[in-house]
């Protein structure tokens, strides 16, 4: 059965020279199986010091539906996601990280839910992280639940599907890991419906993870504090 809508898929990529090729190849396989009206794949290459940029360009040359956005220097996770959302041209936009820690076959479940919900948000059934990462993620989700009254099980899970029109209705302010929470909070304030779906999380085999660096954590909590002051004014 053909799906009568188009889909943008994008991948933030940093230190992913050994991952991004696998991710993009699998994405194209899944997207062809979905029989969409149209699709595009965008790699947001965030100034990687390894060969990620070169590999991304070779994928764009190999596959007509793939394009690359390069950052001359590393701009961080939030800025990279924002680039993906703002450059998406299709009816819906899906993203996951370029580190090959998710099974892209699970995108089929998300697409199947489009007639019934506005947003499909993944939660990791079993996080393949160190105990330190699991602890910081737990505390982060707990703080967001307390401050913003959001009940998402795993708000920073990098496996989400949105209607592209949402990003014409909101302004993304975050430059770090708070971006997922900011988008979900603003979507709910606009009465977008959300369905959560469990997804498998795979161990990172190649590349370097930078999400749990203390500098990123401190910047993210700074963003939470600044946004909370605005949020209280909006909801009071």
Yes or no: say if 181 and 173 are a contact pair by the CB < 8 Å rule: no
Q: Residue 96: beta bridge partners?
A: 159
What six digits make up the tokens of 8?
A: 């943008």
DSSP-derived secondary structure letter, 142: H
Yes or no: say if 48 and 80 are a contact pair by the CB < 8 Å rule: no
For residues 160 and 197, give the distance between their C-alpha atoms in angstroms, rounded to a whole number.
9
Least reliable range by pLDDT among 26-30, 142-146, 161-165, 227-231: 227-231
Q: pLDDT-derived band of residue 205, with 50, 70 and 90 as boundaries? A: low
Q: What mean pLDDT comes out for the span 188-217?
A: 77
pLDDT at 147 over 60: yes
Q: What is the DSSP string of 30-93?
A: HHHHHTEEEEEEEEEE---SSSHHHHHHHHHHH-TTEEEEE-SS---HHHHHHHHHHH--SSEE
Which pLDDT tens digit goes with each residue over 14-67?
999 999 999 999 999 999 999 999 999 999 999 999 999 999 999 999 999 999
Q: Residue 195: beta bridge partners?
A: 120
Q: What mean pLDDT comes out for the span 125-153?
A: 81
Measure Cα distances from 64 to 132, 137, 191 in Å.
41, 37, 36
What pTM was estimated for this model as a whole?
0.89
């Amino acid at each position: 059965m053909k799906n009568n809508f188009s889909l943008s898929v994008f991948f933030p990529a940093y230190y992913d020279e050994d991952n991004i090729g696998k991710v993009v190849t699998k994405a194209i396989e899944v997207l062809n199986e979905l029989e969409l009206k149209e699709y595009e794949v965008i790699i947001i290459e965030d100034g990687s010091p390894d060969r990620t940029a070169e590999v991304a360009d070779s994928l764009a040359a190999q596959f007509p539906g793939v394009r690359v956005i390069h950052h001359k220097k590393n701009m961080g996770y939030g800025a990279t996601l924002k680039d993906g959302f703002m450059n998406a041209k299709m009816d819906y936009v899906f993203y996951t990280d370029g580190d090959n820690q998710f099974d892209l076959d699970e995108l089929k479940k998300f697409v199947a839910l489009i007639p019934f919900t506005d947003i499909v948000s993944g939660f990791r059934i079993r996080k393949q992280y160190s105990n330190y990462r699991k602890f910081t993620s737990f505390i982060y989700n707990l703080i967001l639940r307390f401050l913003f009254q959001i009940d998402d099980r795993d708000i920073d899970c990098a496996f989400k599907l949105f209607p592209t029109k949402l990003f014409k209705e909101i302004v993304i302010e975050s430059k770090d890991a708070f971006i997922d929470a900011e988008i979900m909070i603003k979507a709910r304030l606009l009465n977008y419906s959300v369905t959560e779906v469990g997804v498998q999380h795979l161990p990172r085999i190649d590349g370097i993870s930078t999400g749990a660096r203390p500098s990123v954590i401190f910047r993210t909590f700074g963003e939470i504090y600044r946004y909370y002051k605005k949020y209280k004014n909006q909801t009071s």
